[in-house]
Amino acid sequence: MSIFRKKKVEDVLSASESQGHGLSKQLGVLDLTAFGIAAIIGAGIFSTIGKASAEGGPAVIFLFLFTALACGFAALSYAEFASFVPVSGSAYTYAYVAFGEIFAWIIGWALTLEYAIGNCTVAISWSDYFCSLLTNITGYELYDWLTMDYFTARDHAHSILGMLLGGVPLEEIKNTPDHAGKISGFYAWASAPEIFGIKIIFDAPALLLNLLITWLVYRGIKESKTAGNIMVLIKLAVVVLVIVVGVFYVDVSNWSPFMPNGIKGLAAGISAVFFAYIGFDAISTTAEECRNPQRDLPRGIIYSILICTVLYILIALVLTGMVSYKELNVADPLAYVFEKIKSLKWLAGVISVSAVVAMASVMLVFQLGQPRIWLSMSRDGLLPKAFARIHPKFKTPSFATFITGITVALCVLTMDMNMVTDICSAGTLFAFVMVCAGVMHLKNQPDYKPKFQMPYINGKWLFMILFVLFFILYYYLDKEMLVYYFKWESGKAFFSKMPFYMFLVVFGILAVLSVKQNYSLLPGLGLLSCLYMLSQLGYKNWLYFMGWLVLGLVIYFLYGYKNSKWKNALSS
């Protein structure tokens, strides 16, 4: 028995046919494209695009293009794998076929960050927009203790209380940007009711959305598809309206300087921009509910990436053209820009409504994806059998859907949104890297014959040339940054550079191995671009992510390793 045992494609397909026939096949290419757009266009275009634009200036469009290329290469790899192994499980199943069980578990555990844990950030962001919209429309404000989690309220209250005891007036604290956001936590802690001495503080709108989405996903794929398609039509209409109207208010002088903070400024927005693309991979988790997965999955993945990239670039150009990039580091940049123009204030309200719809659709797709990952892991014995249970009437993974809802609810109640966003990006990028590496590896195998194949370009010497060009490009675009990376420093400074050093090591190894292995260029570019973005997330996020993986490995060796269905059937 080996932790590197692999599954054959025929074993995966036969297991799917014998155990997964209860899933209802309802999805076509338009539905899959809509699901992709529903997952991608969410908090990224309504919130984090502002932060990225403030850091990189109008040149943020290059970051969107680079991220689109990185995600595009990864999307092609997903599409190729999806046509080769058209079953639920997404990157988890692909890793099982390409690299073996231990890698499959690691990917499945990492994807839990993207879908179940990451969904709590979507729910909390949705809650913020909903509360703001509720106040603007009705004038009614929810109690502060019903709009945040317990630990955030406690920490903010202690921070504000410490300043008050130090003699800082409350009005001065309110007018200080670094502390103004903590005032609501202070009020929540002070006004919260108590039961047996414990303060009752929770994010009620986020929990309510989670309950409604879980119920919808539990009810069936047809109902989820209909709701998702409606929400996509609404937010696409609003995004196009914003672009068309905003073009007439663009001042081209706002595009100068185009790259005010250099490569370093652009790199600072990588996490925010990548977060705007997360979600297209969720399409592949619905493979067993597609009418023709080998044809429609690749199309749905590619179409959704292309549509969203065009919209992101146009939105970024409009935003940075309407106001100075320096003004865009706000929570709701689209609404903020249109509120500044008196004749367009009505559009700011429409944008707020669309943001609520957009983030609800993201949560819907992610809530669909996670149970299907757990379904596949349970079929392989790596999780308890209950996770593979199919509801006899609704034809959905019922128990796994219920547990996903519980997991998101617990995260909403307890977790810090900023930390979750960063490690969510790390987990997703890691999955993308592994899927690209899997395609590179399998393309050299004689029995690898997917229905969809990206063009093969021999990277024999190209990777070596790209390795050299990488340093030349860095030197001319941001010499100081390159010098910083190769300046010897010990302690904390050295560890902060470790992710970048790891990227260079992998790049160098790939360049050398490709001379002999003739690796395909396109999935290799996907691997390198995603790994580069991963290296720019900061070493603390790497530490958080590694801690998450260690926890997952403990669970694997305590349960999955012993109960694997394939432990006696597969060889390493």
pLDDT at 572: 44
Q: How far, in Å, CA of 527 to CA of 524, rounded? A: 5
pLDDT at 16: 60
Residue in the block written with tokens 């977790």: 415
DSSP code of residue 537: S
pLDDT at 243: 87
Domain ranges of the chain: 9-127+207-442
Q: How far, in Å, CA of 445 to CA of 468, rounded? A: 29
CA distance from start to end of the chain: 8
Partners of residue 298 on adjacent β-strands: none
DSSP reduced 3-state for 203: strand
Name, in order, each residue with C-beta under 8 angstroms of 424's C-beta and a sequence gap of 6 or more: 113, 114, 117, 118, 121, 275, 278
Extract the tokens encoding 467: 């390795």
pLDDT at 75: 83
Name, in order, each residue with C-beta under 8 angstroms of 532's C-beta and a sequence gap of 6 or more: 70, 503
Name, in order, each residue with C-beta under 8 angstroms of 437's C-beta and a sequence gap of 6 or more: 98, 99, 523, 527
Q: How far, in Å, CA of 247 to CA of 267, rounded? A: 27
Q: What is the mean pLDDT of each run of 10 residues along the chain (572 residues)?
A: 69 60 74 84 69 77 81 84 76 83 88 80 81 80 86 86 84 70 83 89 91 90 80 84 86 82 69 72 78 82 87 85 78 74 75 81 85 88 90 87 92 72 77 87 80 85 91 74 67 74 91 90 90 80 85 91 72 45
CA-to-CA dists, residue 511 to 245, 322, 482, 533, angstroms: 47, 44, 20, 19
pLDDT at 403: 93
Q: How far, in Å, CA of 236 to CA of 244, rounded? A: 12
* 550 burial level (CB within 10 Å; 0-12, 13-18, 19+): exposed
Q: How far, in Å, CA of 570 to CA of 468, rounded? A: 41
CATH class of the domain defined by 9-127+207-442: mainly alpha
DSSP code of residue 194: E
DSSP 340-400: TSGGGHHHHHHHHHHHHHHHHHHHHHHHHHHHHHHHHHHHTTSS-GGGG-B-TTT-SBHHH
Partners of residue 27 on adjacent β-strands: 290
Q: How far, in Å, CA of 167 to CA of 172, rounded? A: 10
Contact criterion met (CB below 8 Å) for 323 and 255: no
Residue 441's CB: how many other CB atoms inside 10 A? 15
Amino acid residing at 330: V
pLDDT at 399: 94
> Cα-flanking dihedrals φ and ψ of residue 59, to 5°?
-65, -5
